[in-house]
Structure formats: C-alpha cells, structure tokens
A and B are shown apart, each in its own frame.
Chain A
Amino acid sequence: MAGLGAFAQRATVSGYITDAQTGETLIGAGVIEAGKGAVTNAYGFYTLTLAKGRHSLTFSYVGYAEQTLELNLQKDTTINIHLAPGTALKEATVVASKDAGIQSTKMSAIELPMQLIKHTPVLFGEHDVLKTIQLMPGVQSGAEGFSGIYVRGGGPEENLLLLDGIPLYNAEHLMGILSVFQPEAVKKVTLYKGSFPARYGGRISSIIDVRTNDGNLKELHGSVGVSALTDKIHFEGPIIKDKLAFSLSGRALHTFLYTPLIHKFAGTPVNYYFYDLNGKLAWRISDRDRLFANFYNGRDIFYYKDKGDGSDYSDSEYDTRSTSAAKMNINWGNTLGGLRWNHVFNSKLFSNVTLAYTRYRMHVGMDIMSEMRQKDRDTGVETRMSNTFRFGYESGMRDLTAKMDFDYTPSPEHLVKFGAEYVHHTFIPETVGGYLSEYNSGDISASLDTTFNASVNDIMRGHEISLYAEDDFTIWDRLTLNPGLHAAFFHTQGTPYWSIEPRMSAKVDISSTVSAKAAYSRMAQYVHLLSPSSITLPTDLWVPITDKIKPVTSDQTSLGIYWTGLKGWEFSLEGYYKWMHNILEYRDGTSFFGNSANWQNNVEMGEGLARGVELFVEKKTGRATGWLGYTLAWSDRRFPNGSINGGEWFPYRYDRRHNVSLVFNYDFGHGLNASATWTFASGNTMTLPERQTVVVTPDGRILQQDYVSGRNNYRLPPSHRLNLGLSWTRVKRRGQAVWDLSIYNVYNQMNPNFVFSDTYAIYNSEGQLVDSGVKLQKLTILPFIPSIGWTRSF
C-alpha cells in the first residue's frame, strides 16, 4: 500500500522540445530535475515522472541556450519547450541519452550531429554522412575513398541503413564515391555497432539511423549550393504557420558541365548523372497527434544515344536510304515513401505508427532501330525493310512495411519500448523482356513480331514479422540495465524461420567520472547481397534466405570502460568479440559476373570471427574539437565444408589490423573554421598467386598453373592520407554564404583503389630462366584533389 501511495504522489510532465526559431523537434534534448532526467526520443518527445510539488526543470541541448522552468506539479502536465540556439561552444548540461553516447546504457553507439559532418574535410566538396562514419573506431571503408561501411569485421550488406526509420538498400552514388544522404536534409545520424536496441533487427553488424529535418514551422528558409560535382537546393518553411511545414531538398550531378567534355574527349555520346530528391511534410495536428509524410527518390543514370546519319547512296537500279538509331539507358536507385503518425496517449505512453514503402530498382533499357528504303528507279515502287529490337532488364526489390512503436515511461527509473513490425519483401532478382520486330514490305511472309519475357530467377516473396520489447531501467544510482528481446519470424518459399534475439547492456558508474559497460547482442539477417566486388555495383542483387541458405546470425559481446574526468573530453576503450554464423562467400572459382542464376549453388555458408579493441578520445567543447580513434582488430572466416580455402580459417578481405583516424576542428571565430583528418589503415588482404606449379588431371593431362596457398593470402601495404578543409561563413543581410575549401589527400599518397597481379618469367636467348615472379600494379583514382563548394542560405 505504501508503494501505491508513492505512485499516487507522483505526476508526469511530458511534451516536445523544439528549436525556437524553426519549430524543428530536437532529438536527444534533455530535461533534468534534481539529478533525475529524461531525453527526447527520435520524435522530440520527452516524459518525466516526478513527485508532486515544486520543481525546477532545466531543458538543454548542445548548441542551444538552456531554459529553466519553475513548476508546481500537481497533475500530469504537458509542457512543450522551445529552445533558442546559443553558442555551440558552450557546454550544455548533459543528460544521459538512453540510446547513444558515452553516458547512455548502450555501448558502441555514437551520435553524429550534422554540425560535425559539415565540418569534416570532404572529397569533391561533398559532405558525406557515411564517410564521416568511416572515421569512427570499429568502422572502415572497403576500397580506399569509397563509401562502403565495414563494421567490426562485418560486410557492407550487414548494415541496416535507415532513412527516417525506413530501410535503404543502396545508399551510394557514383559506384560508392558518394552516399545518397544529402546533408541539408539530415538532422541527426546515430550509429549502433555493438549493443543493439531491441527495436532494431534484420542486420548483424550495424544500424545507421538517419533522421531528416521536419521543416521550419515559423518561416521560409532555404539554400542553394554548388560544389565540384553537384548542384544543391534546399527549401523548408511553413505551409500553415506552426501547424504544417515542408522540407524539400534536391541534389544532382551538374551534368550540363560534363556532357560536352565527355563527348569531346571520349568521342562517344554517353553520359552519366545522378540525383537525390528528399521531401517531407510535418503536420502538428494537436499536442497529442502529429503526422509526417516523407519521400525520397534517387537515381544514377547512365545513357547512350546515337543516331545513324541517314546516308543516301544510289546504284543503277535503286535509290536507297538507310537510317539507324540506338539508345541505351542503365539506371538504378531507391524510391522510398513513408507515413508516420505520432500519438501521445497520455504523458507516459507515446506511440509511432509507420507505413512505409521502399524500392531499389536497376533497369537496363535498349532500343535499336534500323530502316532501309529502296525505290526502284524504273517502276517507282518503294520497298521498306525495318528492324526494331527492344530489350529490358530489371532487378531489384521492394518492401512494404507496417510498424508500431511505443515508448512507455511508467516511472523515471524505467523507459520501456515495445512494438511490432510486418514487412512484405518482394525480390526481383533478374527479369528480362524484349520485343523483336522485322518488317519487309516486299515480302510480308518474312516479317515477324516477337515478344519475349524471361526470368533468370523467380520473383521471390518474403514475410517478416518481428516483435520487440526493451526496458532501460535504473536498479540503483550506479547501475542501469537495458534488457531487451527481439523475436522475428521470416517466411519464404514455404520455409519458415524463427529467431529469438536477446539483447542486454549494462552500465556501472564506478565513480562520478569513470564508468564501465558490458553488452551482449544476438542479431539475425534474412536478406543477402550478392556483391562480388569491393565497390558498389548496380548489378548487386538482394536475395532472401531460402530453404538452402539459412539466416545469418551473430553473437556479439562487448566490454568497455569510460572516463570523463577531463572537462570537455571523453575517453572510451571498448573490446568486442563477435561470432558470425551462416555468412556467405562465393565459392572458389566462381566468376564475378553472371553468377546470379542458381546463385545458391555459387555461395557457401560459413562462420566468421571478429574481435578487437577500440580507443576513442574525443574533445567535445572549446574552439578546438576533434577525436582520435584507434582500432586493433582481427576478422577471419571459415567455411567448414572445404569448398573455400580447403575449410581452413583465412583472413577476411578487410581484415585490417590497425586503423587510426585523427580528426581536428578549430573554430577561429568570425565564421572561419578549419579542419583536418588523417587516417591510417593497415592494408587489406587479397588472393594472389605466389608461384607456379603443375596439376595433374584425372585424364592424365599436366597443366601449369598459378599456385595460391590460400584465400586472401597476401596483405597489401597500409594506406594513409591527410585531408584539410576550410569553411568560411559570411553573414549576409539575409542569411549567410558559406565557402568550403577542401583538399583531399594533401600529400598525394598513392593509396591503391584497385590492385592487379600478373606472373612473369624472363628467359635468355638459350631458353634459360633468368628471372621470374609476380608483378603487382595498383590503380589510384583518388590522388591529391582540391575542391571548392559554395552555399548561400537565406
């Protein structure tokens, strides 16, 4: 009864925390009272239960002026707070985020504010979300300079990329040089690589949760920008002030500059461009209900268009005229749309309902036409012969998702999240269709009209249902726990799969400045990416698990220790041990190309082991900010049935022993900001012939062959580079102008993007061997590259 009495003496304060100037919700903003605190969720909503009576609540967010509110709390109360942007250099009162950061119960979860992404030196003047993530410990790029993300020994297909909670299946442009996330549209990015919240599932290595701007509810703002590669535009503003806002962003490769150059130097009528389009509507129906609609479309387009000259020629009998035309178009990209409804049931229960559609599609279209007209000089009779060939190839996948998420805060000591999700997957591995037409007016019987369709792989469907629940609760002042459970059911081609994925993380505050964390996560993945190369290719195929290919699972255990004893600094040291099961690898001797049909026969299931230690030292406040990240890591693979590397353990292709990233940012004031990043990575491995040998075949032949001792048997030299950036912001009468100057790879280090090998043997005139060996060559496509960008905002 005493307990019930205590509950009766409590009341809850809840509401949204927003930016006072724009009305934008602030994710991870804090509210604190006498040591008890809460933070806003992914939709800017907070809830805090306190004893009835007088309280002094402090609302804070990094980069914003704190606000304190005196309150006599007698019943459940809604308070929406509007924080005014302040100096970013001032340290705000820190409230422990429940999801990410050194103070949270979760470990190996990092929040990346857009300010940080915008101040990182860039390639071609393009700020890039994924390339900034690559600078975090435990994360590395695949091919040097590309956006591929390899987290804690996992592959790029093992990362779940979410745009406002909706999965993106291909997040790269220009084969991976840039990612699809347009910084102007992005509000916040969170990376999870160790202890995964139970609400996430479906990938085993990382979750990258990108949240976009809702739109300015107060007044119209926008920006236009130009960089070495793209033109950008961004608008946001109210449609109905304080009620309905829009945000619209677009980016495209300025192909109008490059088309004439390509035509002139390549001598062929080809071109390439990409674009991104982000749109969002945010409607504040009431204090309890908010509705969001978001849309993204991005494509890479390569095309070729040529026309025959229609040349005339004559002979004695006929006047003949022929024409021809050929068009080819290869395009690929994502389309994504979502509807979200936030509803506050009461001050303790918040819900989010999402309906989403996401599609990745690659399309090849070809249209070839030729026509010949012959006119008999004597009779004047004209004969027409024509050929038309149209060909279409398509692959991709689409998901329809419905999900419900709930945040329930029964008391300040607990934050319970639970929900359910249903995803209907449609995989279209490869379909081909075409039309062939031949017409001859002189001989109708020779004419034909044929339409054909073929599917290399059957269209496959999958049904995925998942349920989750997690609770972040404080056992006593020094110990917080976050147990969770994610249960998933996947059904495809008559085969059901279940997975029960327990998650647990714990944090112990050893002292006021030292804490320790431990975490365990089991993850399961039901889709695979057939991608044989180290860069993103449009031909990469997403396929589901099948009755032969089982889900990929991982069991990851992490331990970490954290120190915040130096004002403005954070130190963390984390170790992890990750087992991966049923991971896929192409079998020895499987060609890179044309391997999608019967793909199940070309891959092998095996196990992976990744372990490592990550050091992260970050200076968060002051004029000089930045971090040092160091990773010592091992990542190995084994395929016990022996079809790869004879069943022995071998290093993963991106098994890089040491990774260092050093990021430095200095704010000179007056709008001038300088930044530098230096990265170092041990070389990755590759499979190389080491010598020559002979093999004997069962039919008695003797063949001379390259001898390869094992998969990934050679380690390439390390790569390193320094990037510098200078950003100059000039305040104008209306808005501001920002100049971004970047130098990529300042000291022109010839890091290999691709490596080729060949064997050689030199004989003298008498046929004696003089020298022999293996020759390696590297292709460096990203040397010293200066770039400039300009953005004008208003």
Chain B
Amino acid sequence: MDKKLLILLLLMAFAGCVNDMSYTPRNTEPLLIMNSLITVDSDEHEVWVGVSKPGCVDTLTGDAAVHCHINDHMGVVATEKPGRQGLRRFVFSAPLEPGDKLELELLVEKKRSGETVSKKASASVTVPSAPELGSIDTLSVGDSASRQLAFRIKMTDSTPGADYYSLGISCSSQIELYREGVLIGTEKFVRICPLDTGDDLILSEDGIAAANMDSMFDFGTPNYYGAFFDSQFDCASVTLRPKVDWWELKSWYLTGFVPYDSCYVRPTLKVELSHIGGRHYHYLKALNSLESGSGDLALEDIAVPSNVVGGIGFVGISNTVSQEFSLPPYSNTVSYDDDPYEGLP
C-alpha cells in the first residue's frame, strides 16, 4: 500500500505538462466576408466576398449580389466577374464626390431544405476630401552600394480635427527589349517601393523604417503603406521626408522569358497621397503589423478592424491625388555565361 501511495504521489508530482483545453468561442456560425478598398478616381471598384469559418475561408455559394447605395439612394448593382483564391469578385463604377455616403450591401440567398435562406452584410463609408499635395523634390543620397532616393513632399492639411492619410511611391518602368539591335518586345513593370521613413517624424510615428537596421535590438515596424495622421500638423503644411531604395526602385522583372541582349528603360515615379478615414488608417496599420510580424510567435494576435455589419471585413475609401515625373532613361546590356539563344529558333 505504501509503495502504491508513493508511486501515486510521484506521478502527481510530475504531472505538470501540456494539455488540450476546451475552446468555446461565442460564435461558430459561418459569417459573410466583404472586403473592398475603393479609390475615388478609379474607373472600376472591386468588392471581394466569401465566407468565414472557424478554421478556414470558404467560397460563398448561392445567389449573391452587391448593391451600391450613394447618399441612401440606390446607385448601381455590381457585376460579378471571375474571382480568385476562393473569393467571388464584384465590380461597379460610380461617380463619387467628397462627402458622399457610400453603402455597399451584400445580399445572399441560398436554398436549404426547400427553403430560401437570406443573409445580408453591409458597410458604409464617407468619401473624404481630396488631399492637398504640393511640390515634390528628390535627391539621390548615399554611396553606390546603398544609394537611396530622398523625397521632400509638401502637403497641406486644411481641415481641423484628426485627418488620416497614406503615402505611396511607385515606379513604373517602361521597358523596351532588344535583340541584336532589333526591338523584340515591350513590357511595363510597376514596383511599389517600400518607404524608409526613419528620418521622418510624421511617417515614422508608429515605428522606424524597415531599412533602418542601426539598432541591435529593434528592427522597428516598417510603415509599408505609408499611413500617417495629422497629430503633428493639424491645419498646417508639412514636408514629408521618406526615402526609397534606389536599386529596388529601379529593379524590374519580366513576366516570361524573353531572349533579349539589351534593353532601354524609361522609369516614371509616381507619388500618391490619399486622404482616408480613421478606421481605414487603423486597417492599414493592422495590415502593416500583420505583414511585418509574420512568423513572430511572440506577436500578440492582431485585431484587424472590421466595419461590416452582419459579417466581417473592411470597406475603405480613399481620395487620392498623385504626381508623376520621369527619371532619366537608361539602357542595360545583358551578358550571358551560356548562350541564351541556344535551342531557340
């Protein structure tokens, strides 16, 4: 008896271990997903819909329609087009003016056991005013190994209260491909350049740039989507000072193999400033955190803002102005170790 008792005591003493726990979330029912990021001056606006389940995202089945209401009036019914990644895609076109209230309504009807079951999810947003983008200057800085293009972007915040913005810099490369001096094709490649916001007090208000690796212990949270707000310049003008990596800016690749031996590239820079809503700003920040922290097990789960009533997802709208300017064209010659034309006609 004593021996059995001793064994029992020892077993209990070393019982500390990992065990499964029951998990009882408040809602396990499938939920409609509706996502759309609308830019006012786009010709066509996309709405992505699906179904959220506890462990996966499923394709929405049944009859689905997306209605667009502008200022509480029926605007248009979106047209369904081919989707991707298991999501259904609806597109619509609508003229939108600052101050307009836009409501997207997803209606789903499904037959189940002979009965028609309806579900509805909706989200409404207000079109923001156009931002005021001023002059833009650039300067190439750094040595050849770590060259950056530094920007001085002037903008003005003219409405009192909290205003939210996002800044994007992209480079569109128009590429002409030559073989033995003959033009064999053209391609266009658009690269969205990650911003180095390390020197900018406004753009880096949520962290330091990805490129700023000076710190041994903090690589910072990069501001991938250039989201910022006017806490430091409410109703005032300000100069934003982001930088982009020169080599990354100019880099491009072809969608398929083209046996060229030289190319002529005309890069065009595009600076876009978008006026967005507060929830849109937090949505971009959450995306930023998700992308910068992917794989970090110590990262606490991030709540991505949802503004969809009757489902989950995010509908955001931005009013964007942009400026484009050409960079000096350049040409490259390709030298192959092996003959690239070998085996080709």
Contacts and interface: CB of A to CB of B under 8 A. Distances in A.
Whether A and B are associated in the same complex: the answer reads: yes
Interface of A: 430, 432, 454, 456, 532, 586-598, 601-602, 642-643, 645-646, 687-699, 702-711, 713-714, 716-717, 748, 750, 752, 755, 757, 759-762, 769, 771-786
A597 B53 contact: no
Contacts of B296: 591
Report, nearest first, the 6 A-B pairs whose CB atoms are least far apart.
A772-B55, A589-B289, A597-B218, A592-B298, A784-B12, A761-B55
A772 B52 CA distance: 11
B205 interface: yes
Nearest to B281: A642
Contacts of B9: 784, 786
Given A769-B56, A784-B15, 7 more contacts: A593-B298, A601-B205, A642-B281, A694-B50, A694-B85, A777-B21, A783-B16
Contacts of B301: 687-689, 706, 708, 757
Contacts of B181: none
Given A643-B285, A694-B50, A702 B85 contact: yes
B75 interface: no
A755 B21 contact: yes
Contacts of B289: 587-590
B54 A774 contact: yes
Most buried by B among A702, A748, A782: A702
A325 to B, nearest CB: 24
Interface string B3-26: 000000100111111111111011
A379 to B, nearest CB: 42
17 contacts: A587-B289, A588-B286, A596-B218, A597-B215, A601-B208, A602-B207, A643-B206, A643-B282, A693-B33, A695-B314, A698-B284, A707-B306, A709-B303, A748-B12, A774-B55, A777-B18, A780-B15
A105 to B, nearest CB: 43
Interface of B: 9, 12-23, 25-28, 31, 33, 35-37, 48, 50, 52-58, 84-85, 87, 166, 168, 192, 204-208, 215-221, 225, 278-279, 281-282, 284-290, 292-293, 296, 298-306, 312-314
A691 B26 CA distance: 11
Nearest to A602: B207
A778 B56 contact: no
A693 B287 contact: no
A590 B13 contact: no
Contact of A591 (B48, B281, B298): B298
A213 to B, nearest CB: 35
A771 B282 contact: no
A693 B52 contact: yes
Contact of B57 (A588, A692, A774): A692
A115 to B, nearest CB: 29
Contacts of A717: 21-22
A711 B53 contact: no
Contact of B58 (A759, A762, A769): A769
Nearest to A709: B303
Contacts of A702: 48, 84-85, 87
Given A692-B56, A710-B303, A776-B23, A596 B217 contact: yes
B21 A752 contact: yes
Contact of A711 (B21, B288, B303): B303
A752 B84 CA distance: 42
Contacts of A704: 57, 85
A709 B302 CA distance: 9
B37 A698 contact: yes
A123 B224 CA distance: 49
B48 A696 contact: yes
A690 B16 CA distance: 28
A699 B169 CA distance: 12
A456 B20 contact: no
A601 B206 contact: yes
Nearest to B9: A786
A708 B25 CA distance: 11
A669 B223 CA distance: 70
A502 B31 CA distance: 51
A773 B303 contact: no
B214 to A, nearest CB: 9
A456 B54 contact: no
Given A643-B285, A783-B12, A696 B293 contact: no
Most buried by B among A597, A645, A716, A717: A597
Contacts of B225: 697-698
A696 B35 contact: yes
Contacts of A752: 21
Nearest to A595: B218
Nearest to B20: A777
A653 to B, nearest CB: 10
Nearest to B290: A705
B53 A772 contact: yes
B208 A772 contact: no
A561 to B, nearest CB: 37
Contacts of B305: 646
Contacts of B219: 594
B31 A691 contact: yes
B302 A589 contact: yes
A698 B207 CA distance: 20
Most buried by A among B35, B55, B302, B303: B303
A780 B18 CA distance: 6
A335 B307 CA distance: 52
Contacts of B304: 693, 695, 705, 707-708
A597 B216 CA distance: 9
B83 to A, nearest CB: 9
Most buried by A among B13, B18, B304: B304
Most buried by B among A454, A695, A705: A695
B138 to A, nearest CB: 22
Given A598-B220, A694-B48, A702-B48, A589 B285 contact: yes
Nearest to B280: A698
Contacts of B84: 702
B208 A707 contact: no
A687 B300 contact: yes
Given A646-B303, A695-B287, A699-B192, A780 B19 contact: yes
Contacts of A687: 300-301, 303
A645 B303 contact: yes
A703 B282 CA distance: 17
A550 B201 CA distance: 19
Contacts of A456: 215-218
A708 B192 CA distance: 28
A779 B195 CA distance: 41
Given A601-B207, A693-B33, A707 B312 contact: yes
Contacts of A776: 20-23
A752 B22 CA distance: 12
Given A589-B289, A601-B204, A643-B282, A698 B166 contact: yes
Contacts of A595: 218
Contacts of A695: 35, 287, 290, 304, 314
B180 to A, nearest CB: 37
B55 A778 contact: no
Contacts of A762: 55
A761 B54 CA distance: 9
Most buried by B among A430, A586, A601, A759: A601
B260 to A, nearest CB: 27
B319 to A, nearest CB: 14
A693 B216 contact: no
Contact of A748 (B15, B25, B220, B281): B15
Nearest to B192: A699
B216 to A, nearest CB: 6
A597 B217 CA distance: 7
A690 B35 contact: no
A771 B13 CA distance: 36
B316 to A, nearest CB: 9
A778 B19 contact: yes
Contacts of B55: 691-692, 759-762, 769, 771-774
